[in-house]
Amino acid sequence: MKNKPRRGIIGKIISAREKYSFFSGDGEKVLVAVSGGADSVCLLHALHTLSEQFDIKIIAAHLNHGVRGAESDADEQFVRKLTTDIGTPLIVGKLDPCELETASGSLEADLREARYKFLFGAAARSGAEKIALGHTSDDQAETVLFRIIRGASPDGASGIKPVNGRLVRPILSASRTEVEEYCASNNLTYRTDSSNADIRYTRNRIRHKLIPLLESEFNPRVKKALSGFADMLVEDIELLDSLASFSFADSILSRDAGSLILDSRALEDLPRPLLKRVLRNAALEVLGEDGGRLASIHVESMIAICTSGATGKTVEIPCGITAAKEYERLVLSKSAPDDTETCGDPRSFPITSTEGTFVIPEYGITLVLEAVAPSEDINTNTNMMIGYFDSDKLGAHMSVRCRKSGDLFHPLGAPGERKLSDFFIDSHIPRNVRGKTPLLISERGVIAWVVGYRISDDFKITDSTKNVIKITAKRL
Instruction: Tell me the mean pLDDT in the region 5-20.
Output: 88
The pLDDT tens digits for 77-90 are 999 999 999 999 99
**Gap between the Cα atoms of 351 and 146, Å rounded:** 63
- What is the overall mean pLDDT for the chain? 87
Strand order in the sheet with 365-372: 356-360, 365-372, 468-475, 386-390
Report which of residues 330 and 98 the model is more confident about: 330
Contact 436, 402 (CB under 8 A): yes
Instruction: Tell me the mean pLDDT in the region 18-30.
Output: 90
CB atoms within 10 A of CB 62: 24
Report which of residues 136 and 345 the model is more confident about: 136
Using CA atoms, how far residue 359 sits from 237, 435, 468, in Å, is 45, 19, 21
Which segments of the chain belong to CATH 3.30.465.60? 265-340
CATH of 265-340, one of 3.30.420.40, 3.30.450.20, 3.30.465.60, 3.40.50.1820: 3.30.465.60
The CATH fold of domain 8-233: Rossmann fold (3.40.50)
Classify each residue of 410-447 as buried b or exposed e, where b means 16 or more C-beta atoms within 10 Å of its C-beta.
Answer: bbeeeeebeebbebbbeeebbbbbbbbbbbbbbeeebb
User: Residue 458 — very low, low, confident or very high, per pLDDT cuts 50/70/90?
Assistant: very high
For the chain, percent of residues with pLDDT exceeding 90: 47
The pLDDT tens digits for 439-451 are 999 999 999 999 9
The pLDDT tens digits for 245-279 are 999 999 999 887 678 889 988 898 899 999 999 99
The pLDDT tens digits for 415-440 are 889 889 888 877 777 776 788 889 99
The CATH fold of domain 349-475: Phenylalanyl-tRNA Synthetase; Chain B, domain 3 (3.50.40)
